[in-house]
Amino acid sequence: MKSLKEKFKDQINDSRDRVKNLVTEYGDKIVGEISLRQIYSGMRGMLSMVTETSKLDPNEGIRFRGYSLPEIQDVLPRAKGSNQPLPEGMFYLMLIGSLPNDNDVRNISLELEIRSDVPDYVFNVINDLPKDMHPMTQFSIAILSLKNESQFTRAYKQGISKKTYWDPTFEDALNLIAKLPRIAAYIYRRSYHNEDYIEPLKGADWSQNFAHMLGFSDAEFTDLIRLYMTIHSDHEGGNVSAHTAHLVGSALSDAYLSFSAGMNGLAGPLHGLANQEVVRWLLTMQKDLGGGLPSRDKIADYVQDSLNNGKVIPGFGHAVLRKTDPRYTAQREFALKYLPDDQLFLLVSRVYEVVPPILEATGKVKNPWPNVDAHSGILLLKYGMKEYDFFTVLFGVSRSLGIMSQLIWSRALGMPIERPGSTTTDLMIKKFSH
């Protein structure tokens, strides 16, 4: 049976030809226009890059190689006795472009286990950081230090041909994905559990081992981590973390440099850090409103107050989506099944009823609906993971699956250095105001 790498290699020539033919035949076709407003609003809606792994539809949400999230939950292989897809299957799908079978997924779990050892110097780097440093900063620094392991960097020094850049990048990508749970768990146990580290399991799947090293043995929590790792893995190429990793990678920076850069973007409150901000906001609101499950009217007043004070409501809105995020819905379904009476779940559900009409009434928020981050935190809290400053690290571990698949494909397709143009306000005024 062919390895994952051999299967990937088999696709390279055809994929290169496809791109070459497409550009030869249609290279001068216009795919869209850019307005002045778009230039001043974060390039919103500007089609300007190719990402093979997934595509985001404003109304339907994310599709991974054509499969919607509910379809993914249905068709990807599961661990024995589990109700959730294995994220290893998502990695296979994004990288190879077709659905894996049970064996394909088991082989990835095994391959990741074999590659999962973390060099001591990485732990030493983490040990030198203040324990109260934000976990995302520790995570990014640890990933950056792993650059020392880069096979791409070594091969590049030795003068490898452009045509085979993808090969050491594949190795770096798999090694990085394999090592991230260990690094993340180390940061968690060091910062919050008195350096009481837990050795990895043998023969477990990627998420099961991660949940174990974090210190959780509950089967439902393990399934939650499988779900979490699957749904956060990719969101096409334009989001801040994926785009940053792609941009940095386009300079032939290796997987570690690129991914660490992407994580610095994920650590922003308008992007991945929103998952911790949602929990902080919910708990503060609950406390300010007297505890328990506040009434709809009280929540509405609180939300209005936040908006009047110029704050965003974390977990709501999106730069592309215009409907409730299917990743939110997948988590809501998990909660309805396993924790329907949980007080924080009831609060999140009530917030879901109250917030959208208020955001809509502002007349400016383009998407009043909840995104993935509005729901994830309270599920983790329910199973005893209370340290919500850590939650974005979980997001980061999952995002490695998409960002690394994207990087391998970029190398295989020989994507060039990214270098969009910029202008000045003076030039725009000169151009249009006469």
Quote the CA–CA distance of 382 and 420 in Å, as a whole number: 45
Shortest CB 41 distance to ligand HAX, Å? 7
Q: Considering only residues 140-179, where is the footprint of ligand HAX by CB under 6 A?
A: none
**C-beta of 4 vs 242, nearer to ligand HAX:** 242
**C-beta of 64 vs 216, nearer to ligand HAX:** 64
**C-beta of 4 vs 354, nearer to ligand HAX:** 354
Shortest CB 353 distance to ligand HAX, Å? 16
Shortest CB 260 distance to ligand HAX, Å? 17
* Residue entry with tokens 């696709």: 11
DSSP 8-class letter at 147: G
| C-alpha R_g of the chain | 22
Quote the CA–CA distance of 215 and 130 in Å, as a whole number: 22
**C-beta of 205 vs 373, nearer to ligand HAX:** 373
Residues 376-391, buried b or exposed e (16+ Cβ, 10 A)?
bbbbbbbbebeebbbb
Shortest CB 370 distance to ligand HAX, Å? 8
Task: Write the binding mask 31 to 70 for ligand HAX: x where contact by CB under 6 A, - elsewhere.
Answer: -------------x--------------------------
Size of the site for ligand HAX (CB under 6 A): 23
Total residue count of the chain as it appears in this document = 434
**C-beta of 58 vs 414, nearer to ligand HAX:** 58
Shortest CB 344 distance to ligand HAX, Å? 17
**C-beta of 62 vs 412, nearer to ligand HAX:** 62
Tell me if residue 57 falls in helix, strand or coil: strand
Q: Which residues are CB-neighbours of 84 under 8 A, at least 6 positions away?
A: 73, 78, 223, 224, 226, 227, 230
Nearest by Cα to 145 from 229, 237, 241, 263: 263
Q: Which of 235, 246, 318, 375 is catalytic?
A: 318
Quote the CA–CA distance of 190 and 108 in Å, as a whole number: 28
Tokens of 1: 């049976």
**Three-class SS string for 282-311?**
HHHHHHHCCCCCCCHHHHHHHHHHHHHCCC
Task: Write the binding mask 298 to 327 for ligand HAX: x where contact by CB under 6 A, - elsewhere.
Answer: ---------x----xxxxxxxx--------
**C-beta of 165 vs 395, nearer to ligand HAX:** 395
Q: Which of 172, 232, 373, 375 is catalytic?
A: 373
Shortest CB 271 distance to ligand HAX, Å? 4
Among 143, 144, 229, 274, binds ligand HAX (CB under 6 A): 274
**C-beta of 182 vs 318, nearer to ligand HAX:** 318
Q: Considering only residues 343-402, where is the footprint of ligand HAX by CB under 6 A?
A: 359, 364-367, 371-373
Instruction: With contacts defined by CB under 6 A, name the span among 104-112, 163-171, 208-216, 269-277 that binds ligand HAX.
Output: 269-277
- AA letter at 216: F
Q: Considering only residues 221-250, where is the footprint of ligand HAX by CB under 6 A?
A: 239
Quote the CA–CA distance of 6 and 394 in Å, as a whole number: 30
Nearest by Cα to 343 from 390, 289, 269, 391: 289
Shortest CB 321 distance to ligand HAX, Å? 8
Instruction: With contacts defined by CB under 6 A, name the span among 220-228, 256-264, 271-279, 281-289 that binds ligand HAX.
Output: 271-279
Q: Which of 271, 297, 389, 426 is catalytic?
A: 271
- Cα 231–237–243 angle (5° rounding)? 115
Quote the CA–CA distance of 261 and 36 in Å, as a whole number: 29
Shortest CB 400 distance to ligand HAX, Å? 15
For residue 373, indicate whether it is catalytic: yes
For residue 434, indicate whether it is catalytic: no
Is residue 328 within 8 A of residue 345, CB to CB? The reply is no
Q: Verify binding: residue 213, ligand HAX, rule CB under 6 A.
A: no
DSSP 8-class letter at 149: G
For residue 212, indicate whether it is catalytic: no
Tell me if residue 39 falls in helix, strand or coil: helix
Distance of CA 362 to the CA centre of its chain: 29
Q: List the beta bridge partners of residue 370.
A: 316
User: What residues act catalytically?
Assistant: 271, 318, 373
Binding residues for ligand HAX, per CB under 6 A? 44, 239, 270-272, 274, 307, 312-319, 359, 364-367, 371-373
